[in-house]
Chains A and B, each alone.
Chain A
Amino acid sequence: MKTFTLGGIHPKGNKLSAQAPIEIFPIPEKVYIMVTQHLGAPSTVIVNKGDRVKVGTLVAKADAFICANVHSSVSGIVEKIDEINDASGYRKSTIIIKVENDEWEENIDRSTNLNRECKLNSKEIVQRIKDSGIVGLGGATFPTHVKYMVPEGKKADFLIINGVECEPYLTSDHAIMLEKAEEIMIGIEILMKALGSKKAMIGIEKNKPDAIKKMQEIASKYNKIEIYPLKVKYPQGAEKQLIKALTGREVPSGKLPIEVGCVVNNIGTALAVYEAVQKNKPLIERVVTVSGKSVKKPSNLRVRIGTPCQLLIDHAGGIPEDTGKIISGGPMMGKALRSPEMPVTKGTSGILLMTEKESKREASSMCIRCAKCVNACPMGLEPYLLQMYVESLRFEDAENHKIMDCIECGSCQYTCPANRELLDYIRVGKSKVGAMMRSRTRK
Chain B
Amino acid sequence: MKLLTISGSPHIHGGHSVKKLMRGVIVAMMPALLVSFYYFGLSAFIVTMVSVFACMFFEWFIQKFIMKVPTSITDGSAMVTGILLAFNVPSNLPIWIILIGALVSIGIGKMTYGGLGKNPFNPALVGRVFLLISFPVQMTTWPKSGLPFSTLSFDGLTGPTPLGILKGGLSQGETVNQVMSNVDMPRYADLLYGQMGGSLGEVSAIALIIGGLFLIFRKVITWHIPVAFIGTSFIFASILHMVNPELYVDPFFHLITGGLMLGAFFMATDLVTSPMSKTGQLVFGVGCGLLTILIRVWGAYPEGVSFAILLMNATTPLINNAFKPKQFGKAIKLKA
Interface residues of A (CB under 8 A from B): 6, 9, 11, 157, 168, 240, 244, 247-253, 255, 260-261, 319, 321-327, 331-339, 352, 354, 356, 358-362, 365-372, 374-375, 377-382, 384-385, 402, 405, 408, 410, 413-419, 421, 423-424, 427
Q: How far is the CB of A159 from chain B (nearest CB, A)?
A: 14
Contact of A369 among B7, B276, B328 (CB under 8 A): B276
Establish whether residues B12 and A250, one from each chain, have CB atoms under 8 Å apart when the complex forms: no
Output the least CB separation between A253 and chain B (Å). 5
- Residues of B near A369 (CB, < 8 A) are 117, 271-274, 276
B335 at the interface (CB under 8 A from A): yes
A361 touches B117 (CB 8 A): no
Q: Are B14 and A414 in contact (CB under 8 A)?
A: yes
- Bound-state CA distance A362–B13 (Å) is 9
Q: Please indicate which of the listed interface residues B14, B77, B116 has the most CB atoms of chain A within 10 Å of its own CB.
A: B14
Contact B336 A361 (CB under 8 A): no
Contact (Cβ within 8 A) B328 A240: yes
Inter-chain contact B11/A325, CB cutoff 8 Å: yes
One of B6, B116, B324 near A366 (C-beta < 8 A): B116
Find chain A residues with CB under 8 A from B14 CB. Answer: 9, 11, 414-415
Task: Say whether B12 contacts A331, CB under 8 Å.
Answer: yes
Residues of A within 8 A of B274 (CB): 369
| Interface pair A249/B271, CB less than 8 Å apart | no
What residues of A have a CB within 8 angstroms of the CB of B172 in the complex? none
- Interface, chain B (partner A; CB < 8 A): 1-2, 4-14, 16-18, 20-21, 72, 75, 77, 114-118, 222, 271-278, 324-336
Interface of A is mostly: loop
Q: Which residue of A lies closest to B281 (CB)?
A: A371
A338 touching B4 by the CB < 8 A rule?
Answer: yes
Q: A325-B6, A325-B7, A417-B21 are in contact. List 5 more A-B contacts (CB 8 A).
A: A252-B332, A325-B11, A371-B275, A378-B328, A405-B327
Closest to A428 in B: B8
Expressed in whole angstroms, the minimum distance between the Cβ of A7 and any Cβ of chain B is 8
- Residues of B within 8 Å of A423, CB to CB, are 8-10
Looking at A157, A261, A354, A368, the one whose CB has the most chain B CB atoms below 10 A away is: A368
Are A336 and B333 interface neighbours, CB within 8 A?
no
B336 A247 Cβ-Cβ under 8 A: yes
Residues of chain A within 8 A (CB-CB) of B278 are: 375
Chain A to chain B contacts (Cβ below 8 Å), 18 pairs: A240-B329, A249-B332, A250-B331, A251-B329, A253-B327, A261-B334, A332-B9, A335-B9, A358-B11, A365-B75, A369-B271, A369-B274, A372-B16, A381-B325, A382-B276, A415-B16, A417-B21, A424-B8
Do A368 and B117 contact each other (CB < 8 Å), given the known contacts A336-B6, A374-B277, A380-B328? yes
Chain B binding surface, main DSSP class: loop
Knowing A336-B6, A339-B4, the reply to whether A379 touches B272 (Cβ < 8 A) is no
Q: Distance (Å) between the CB of B283 and the closest chain A CB?
A: 14
In angstroms, Cα B332 to Cα A255, docked, is 12
Are A249 and B335 in touch, CB under 8 angstroms? yes
Residues B4 and A382 in contact, CB atoms below 8 Å apart: no
Contact of B11 among A334, A356, A372 (CB under 8 A): A334
Q: State the Cβ distance, B223 to closest chain A Cβ, in Å.
A: 12
Whether A410 touches B327, Cβ cut-off 8 Å, given contacts A249-B333, A416-B16, is no
* Chain B residues within an 8 Å CB radius of A157: 336
Chain A residues positioned under 8 Å from B2 (CB to CB): 322-324, 356
Q: List the B residue with the shortest CB-CB distance to A381.
A: B327
| Cβ contacts under 8 Å, A338 to chain B | 4, 6
Contact of B10 among A240, A244, A382, A410 (CB under 8 A): A410
Flag if A325 contacts B4 (CB, 8 Å): yes
In the complex, which residues of chain B have a beta carbon less than 8 angstroms from the beta carbon of A385? 276
Given A368-B116, A378-B328, A323–B11 Cβ distance below 8 Å?
no
Contact A380 B333 (CB under 8 A): no
Which residues from chain B contact A370 at a C-beta distance below 8 Å?
21, 271
Which of A6, A321, A368 meets B271, CB within 8 Å?
Answer: A368
Task: Provide the residues of chain B in CB contact with A417, threshold 8 Å.
Answer: 16-18, 20-21
- In Å, the complex CA distance between A71 and B20 comes to 52
Closest to B19 in A: A417
Taken together as a complex, chains A and B put the C-alpha atoms of A244 and B331 apart, in Å, by 12
Residues in chain A near residue B77, CB distance under 8 A: 368
* Chain B residue nearest in CB terms to A322: B2
In the complex, how many angstroms separate the beta carbon of B89 from the nearest chain A beta carbon?
25
Q: Are A382 and B324 in contact (CB under 8 A)?
A: yes
Contact between B326 and A380 (Cβ–Cβ < 8 Å)?
A: yes
The answer to whether B6 touches A414, judged by C-beta atoms less than 8 angstroms apart, is no
Contact status A402-B327, CB under 8 Å: yes
Q: How far is the CB of B23 from chain A (nearest CB, A)?
A: 11
CB distance from A369 to the nearest CB of B (A): 5
* Interface pair A260/B332, CB less than 8 Å apart: yes
* Chain A: minimal CB distance from B225 (Å): 11
Q: Which of A249, A356, A377 is in CB contact (< 8 Å) with B325?
A: A377
Name the contact of B335 in the complex, choosing from A247, A332, A415 (C-beta under 8 A): A247
Which residues of chain A have C-beta atoms less than 8 A from B331's C-beta?
250
Contact of A325 among B5, B114, B276, B333 (CB under 8 A): B5
